[in-house]
Amino acid sequence: MSDLMALVVGPASTSLGEEVAELLAVQAVAYDCRRFPDGEEEVDIRDSVRGRDIYLLQATSPPVDQHLIELLLLADACRRAGADRLTAVMPYFGYARQDRRTDRRSLGARVAANIIGTGGFDRLMLIDAHTASIEGFFDIPIDHLTAVPILAEAARGSRQDNSVVVAPDLGGVKRAREYARLLELPMAFVQKTRVSGEAVEAHGVIGEVRGRLPIIVDDMLSTGGTIEAAVSALLMAGAIEPATVVVTHALLVGRARDVLRQLPVSRLIAANTIPVEDAVELHLGVTSVAPLVATAIRRNHFDESLADLRVRT
């Protein structure tokens, strides 16, 4: 790897960063991140980054606001230390679900995009953001990468002749179609309405699922409400147990763990865009996106195409 390339691994992505650094055969840039008694943080870059092509790896996962500020502080420290080019690599982008405004609510995705835009980044890399249209919120060029091929391969062991790929809502149909193509399976989707941040109502299933084993695919698993509603709707429509659940981002907040323990789900597969501490207890199979991230960084550094790594539209 070129000596001009450098990797900075933020506090939210240390495990993934170690894998990426190993694949790139580089030593991550050393820094200190201190928290003062009043809650403020300060970043001090210990290695020289002057004139270098910096890739700052930091997910804005829970606690979202803290990790977002850390991203910006790291970026500011790199810029002030003389970095030549700065790319933010965000395996998970918090606030992405707040992408449309209703009534008098704030538009969180736009606010977060504006804040990130102040970080002095030349480019931004995301992995399976909630919607492909998220790029429209940023003025920075974006490489919207996808972990779907990696996750589909991990799910192949659950594939049966009578399996069906299921999108748990209409917004996930394009993603489910890509999984169905890769796994060579039919697909269906669940009609749902979100009642609140945790409650979801399913109204029916579009597609043939009777007598089939569902492979439910989504971009994230947050509180588990969407998966819970989807499984209920699928069973009512004649699908058979157990289900497989495949997600890119396993947030697992709120009552998610209790929901998963009660559902007839034999296998849960997720990428390591967000670290999960109790993966073994939850029977969660973690698939690493480190090869995807390392490949994207390497190609970007040498100004090579990333077209085959991006979300299909």
Average pLDDT of the chain? 92
5-35 b/e with 16+ CB inside 10 Å = b? Answer: bbbbbbbbbeebbebbbebbebebbebeeee
User: What type of residue sits at position 32?
Assistant: D
DSSP 191-219: EEEE-SSS-EEEEEEES--TT-EEEEEEE
Paired with 99 in beta bridges are: none
Looking at the domain 5-146+290-309, which fold is it?
Answer: Rossmann fold (3.40.50)
**How far, in Å, CA of 195 to CA of 3, rounded?**
52
- pTM comes to 0.93
pLDDT digits (tens, 9 = 90+) for 110-148: 999 999 999 999 999 999 998 878 888 899 999 999 999
Percent of the chain with pLDDT strictly greater than 90: 79
Mean pLDDT of 192-214: 75
Percent of the chain with pLDDT strictly greater than 70: 95
pLDDT digits (tens, 9 = 90+) for 39-48: 999 999 999 9
* Domain coordinates in residue numbering, the chain: 5-146+290-309, 148-287
pLDDT digits (tens, 9 = 90+) for 7-22: 999 999 999 999 999 9
Of 219, 230, 223, the C-alpha closest to 190 is 230
Are 155 and 140 within 8 A, CB to CB? no
Mean pLDDT lowest for which of 62-76, 92-106, 161-175?
A: 92-106
Q: What are phi and psi of 271, to 5 degrees?
A: -80, 165
Is domain 148-287 classified as CATH 3.40.50.2020?
yes
Query: pLDDT at position 277, please?
Result: 78
Confidence of residue 195 (pLDDT cuts 50, 70, 90): very low
Three-state SS at 265: strand
193-224 b/e with 16+ CB inside 10 Å = b? Answer: eeeeebebebeebebebeebbbbbbbbbbbbb
**How far, in Å, CA of 116 to CA of 124, rounded?**
9
Dig out the tokens for 230 from the structure: 């989807």
- Supply the residues annotated as catalytic: 192
pLDDT digits (tens, 9 = 90+) for 155-177: 999 999 999 999 998 888 999 99
Mean pLDDT of 200-218: 88
Cα 248 from chain centroid (whole Å): 5
- Which contacts of 200-207 are long-range, i.e. CB under 8 A and separated by 24 or more positions? 200/225, 200/226, 200/228, 200/229, 201/229, 202/229, 202/230, 202/232, 202/233, 203/233, 204/233, 204/237, 205/166, 205/233, 205/234, 205/237, 205/239, 207/164, 207/166
pLDDT digits (tens, 9 = 90+) for 294-303: 999 999 999 9
**How far, in Å, CA of 145 to CA of 216, rounded?**
21
**How far, in Å, CA of 289 to CA of 171, rounded?**
23
Are 210 and 240 within 8 A, CB to CB? no
Cα 105 from chain centroid (whole Å): 24
Q: Is the pLDDT of residue 196 over 90?
A: no
Of 21, 111, 122, the C-alpha closest to 68 is 111
